[in-house]
Amino acid sequence: MKFRAESINQYNEFYTESMEQTESYWAKRAETFEWFKQWDEVVSGNFNDLNVKWFDGGQTNITINALDRHAKNTPDKLAIIWESNDPNEEEIYFTYSQLLKKVNQFSNVLKNQGVRKGDRVCFYMSMVPELLIGVLATARIGAVHSVVFGGFSAKALAGRINDCDAKIVITNDEAYRGDKIIPLKNITDNALEDTPCVKTVLCLERTKGKVSMQAGRDQWLNELLANASTECEPEVMNSEDPLFILYTSGSTGQPKGLQHTTAGYMMWASETYKNVFQTDDDDIFWCSADIGWITGHSYISYGPLLNGSTQVMFEGVPTWPDAGRFWKTIDKYKVTHFYTAPTAIRALEACEAKFVEEANLSSLKVLGTVGEPINEEAWNWYNEKVGKKNCPIVDTWWQTETGGIMVSTLAGVTPVIPCHATLPLPGVELMLVDTDGKEISGNPAEGNLCVKRPWPGIARTIYGDHERYRQTYFSTYPGYYFTGDGAKRDENGNYRITGRVDDVVNVAGHRIGTAEVEDAVNEHKEIVESAVIGIPHDIKGETLMAFAIPFKQSANAKELLPTVNTLLVDHIGPIAKLEKIVIVPGLPKTRSGKIMRRVLRKIAANELDKLGDTSTLLNPEIVDEIIAAMKK
């Protein structure tokens, strides 16, 4: 395969070349894509002007590279094997030629609904084939997709729709999710009470559950698709034209709409997939993420297709009908490359051993993990029980903002070190800094993880708020992209990610900003103010707890919990539920009024000797009172 690093020496050569001859390194790779017009400049802009551009002046469409060229060269190769939530429902196969036709039909449906280049199209669907097809169709006509994970609430959906001013929402009647049914269309209806921008809703029939259709606004997608032409010319896109917006939580405020652009993202999704996973022509790749998250964007919708791979797309959940579902599915399709999250691994490890032991799993060649630091026990279990100590594990560190993998072992090429993401990919220049922003050179080292220069896949802005983009990522250490993560670097330069160093909690691999959760908790009629932190959890990695000041100090935390959680499910979704509440008389605050969550984290962990200097607090006496409340 062209420009794939296949030995450690080649990785080293590629890495050095990407640092020293950046332009020619990426130009060579860009030439492997199809363009309507060549680029003028490989890269421009930097982390000071925040006007980063890759392949500027070039024109392409990501779908001609993900679909048309394979539909031409390998039309009958399988692109997608779709596995239903229900193991008894027949799977669906799409070759590249069939997938292109489906995408074209969907593209024509969108066009007929008046969707034009640059318009935002919101998807609120489960993992049905039409989600993937719709996302690609949006890209084909030059519109901008914004996929909202089907587990978010109506309010969260409405907030995202309004933020990006979507004019159309695409959903399904209901979603199958294990033995549960999620009423997506009903939730959409509720969300749309507050979204004046939305003129059209297309609803896919999936469960045939009862939904109400609003005349003049709602239409059945199935019928429109069936009647649409299978031909649709791709829109000519400039390299820096937006491809999608995806929302993610940060340490302050409401979720941010990270905006990715066409050519740089295409390059990054494609190159990282190729180098990290090292799939060959006959391999079967399976990323178990949902397209509602960045992992699903880069390693379902784009990376594998850009490389002409065959992949499994799964509608269901790992534990239904039983905890053998992943393993049975791997055997059913002879999956060679399996990519999942530590939280799923831990959940399955906690189930009866027979589920994994009864499976054959001999087709597997490479295992991947993503989303949070993987603990040693889970790593060993994955390695032994799933990989039979025969499959390299790629621990891939990256973020919604980075567009694709940044630090990872290249499977079979560079060394695997348990629980370490290991080495940066070509193009990625990392730096560890201390709290004063000084670079820590030499090895070993530990500090805050930054990136020194632009790589093709970096999100270019926060939709509609470039200043917030600067503030969030480039103001802590001016001139550098700050990831929000801490990391260690060993004597050989291998990175181990230690986790978030900001007010972001990683619950089951999902990023949740504590500020957003607090905003919702504070709306509870019995609560004055709250502070939310993450605490360790066996399966989810972290879970949320709140310290809350109630109007009446006699309030009972256990009684408050269910109604607070109802509120959180309503404002954000089930992933934001609290594990527990501790009633406190006050919160530790700095003189400028900021909650010192660091102090609360130490109290929750019972690390009272590590509280640090609390004398600078506005209310130092509160610390002992919180410790006492915690013990109650």
- Does 396 sit near ligand WT7 (CB under 6 A)? yes
- Does 487 sit near ligand WT7 (CB under 6 A)? no
| Residues in 322-361 at the binding interface with ligand WT7, rule: CB under 6 A | none
DSSP 513-563: EHHHHHHHHTTSTTEEEEEEEEEEETTTEEEEEEEEEESSTT--HHHHHHH
Q: Are 450 and 434 in contact (CB under 8 A)?
A: no
How many Cα atoms within 13 Å fall on the side-chain side of residue 205?
A: 12
**Looking at beta carbons only, is 294 or 359 nearer to ligand WT7?**
294
Query: Token match 């199935």: residue?
Result: 222
**Minimum separation from the CB atom of position 543 to ligand WT7 (A):** 15
Interface residue with ligand WT7 among 134, 242, 456, 484 (CB under 6 A) is 484
* C-alpha to C-alpha distance for 163 and 198, rounded to whole angstroms: 12
Interface residue with ligand WT7 among 15, 244, 397, 455 (CB under 6 A) is 397
Interface residue with ligand WT7 among 371, 424, 427, 457 (CB under 6 A) is 371
Please give the residue whose beta carbon sits closest to ligand WT7 in the complex. Answer: 400
Choices 332-340, 346-354, 482-490, 609-617 (CB under 6 A): range interacting with ligand WT7? 482-490
3-state secondary structure of 596: coil
Interface residue with ligand WT7 among 398, 473, 481, 495 (CB under 6 A) is 398
Q: Tokens in use for 91?
A: 């799977």
**Minimum separation from the CB atom of position 488 to ligand WT7 (A):** 12
Q: Are 278 and 412 in contact (CB under 8 A)?
A: yes
Angle at 172 between CA 312 and CA 145, to 5 degrees: 70
**Looking at beta carbons only, is 324 or 457 nearer to ligand WT7?**
457
**Minimum separation from the CB atom of position 572 to ligand WT7 (A):** 14
Choices 202-210, 353-361, 496-504, 550-558 (CB under 6 A): range interacting with ligand WT7? 496-504
**Minimum separation from the CB atom of position 408 to ligand WT7 (A):** 8
- Does 373 sit near ligand WT7 (CB under 6 A)? yes
Query: Token match 């989810």: residue?
Result: 540
Q: Are 530 and 568 in contact (CB under 8 A)?
A: no
**Looking at beta carbons only, is 39 or 397 nearer to ligand WT7?**
397
Q: Are 207 and 217 in contact (CB under 8 A)?
A: no
Interface residue with ligand WT7 among 146, 400, 414, 514 (CB under 6 A) is 400
* C-alpha to C-alpha distance for 539 and 579, rounded to whole angstroms: 13
- Does 65 sit near ligand WT7 (CB under 6 A)? no
Give Cα 241 distance to the centre of its chain: 21
How many Cα atoms within 13 Å fall on the side-chain side of residue 35?
A: 21
**Minimum separation from the CB atom of position 104 to ligand WT7 (A):** 30
3-state secondary structure 292-352: CCHHHHHHHHHHHHHCCCEEEEECCCCCCCCCCHHHHHHHHHCCCEEEECHHHHHHHHCCC
**Minimum separation from the CB atom of position 283 to ligand WT7 (A):** 22
3-state secondary structure of 5: coil
**Looking at beta carbons only, is 183 or 499 nearer to ligand WT7?**
499
- Stretch 420-439: interaction string toward ligand WT7, x if CB under 6 A: -x------------------
Interface residue with ligand WT7 among 218, 240, 241, 395 (CB under 6 A) is 395
* C-alpha to C-alpha distance for 73 and 70, rounded to whole angstroms: 5
H or E segment and range at residue 106: helix 96-112
- Does 497 sit near ligand WT7 (CB under 6 A)? yes
Q: Are 364 and 338 in contact (CB under 8 A)?
A: yes
Choices 22-30, 62-70, 320-328, 478-486 (CB under 6 A): range interacting with ligand WT7? 478-486
- Does 462 sit near ligand WT7 (CB under 6 A)? no
- Does 477 sit near ligand WT7 (CB under 6 A)? no
Q: Are 442 and 253 in contact (CB under 8 A)?
A: no
Interface residue with ligand WT7 among 120, 453, 511, 602 (CB under 6 A) is 511
**Looking at beta carbons only, is 239 or 275 nearer to ligand WT7?**
275
Please give the C-alpha separations between residue 166 and each of 61, 188, 249, 290, 297, in angstroms, as whole numbers.
21, 13, 19, 21, 19
End-to-end CA distance of the chain: give it in Å, rounded: 62
**Looking at beta carbons only, is 206 or 511 nearer to ligand WT7?**
511
Interface residue with ligand WT7 among 262, 295, 530, 543 (CB under 6 A) is 295
- Does 506 sit near ligand WT7 (CB under 6 A)? yes
**Minimum separation from the CB atom of position 149 to ligand WT7 (A):** 10
**Looking at beta carbons only, is 359 or 421 nearer to ligand WT7?**
421
**Looking at beta carbons only, is 316 or 404 nearer to ligand WT7?**
404
3-state secondary structure of 130: helix
**Minimum separation from the CB atom of position 296 to ligand WT7 (A):** 9
**Looking at beta carbons only, is 404 or 454 nearer to ligand WT7?**
404
**Minimum separation from the CB atom of position 359 to ligand WT7 (A):** 25
* C-alpha to C-alpha distance for 360 and 268, rounded to whole angstroms: 34
- Does 500 sit near ligand WT7 (CB under 6 A)? yes
- Does 372 sit near ligand WT7 (CB under 6 A)? yes
* C-alpha to C-alpha distance for 199 and 217, rounded to whole angstroms: 6
Interface residue with ligand WT7 among 113, 248, 310, 448 (CB under 6 A) is 248
Cis peptide before 444 (omega within 30 of 0): yes
**Looking at beta carbons only, is 306 or 567 nearer to ligand WT7?**
306
Closest to 348 in 3D by CA, of 334, 328, 371, 373: 328
**Minimum separation from the CB atom of position 506 to ligand WT7 (A):** 6
- Does 485 sit near ligand WT7 (CB under 6 A)? yes
- Does 494 sit near ligand WT7 (CB under 6 A)? no
**Looking at beta carbons only, is 5 or 487 nearer to ligand WT7?**
487
**Minimum separation from the CB atom of position 134 to ligand WT7 (A):** 21
Based on the number of CB atoms within 10 Å of its own CB, is 587 exposed (0-12), middle (13-18) or buried (19 or more)?
buried
Q: Tokens in use for 1?
A: 């395969």
Closest to 218 in 3D by CA, of 207, 197, 228, 204: 204
- Where do contacts with ligand WT7 occur on this chain (CB under 6 A)? 248, 294-295, 370-373, 395-400, 421, 483-485, 497, 499-500, 506, 511
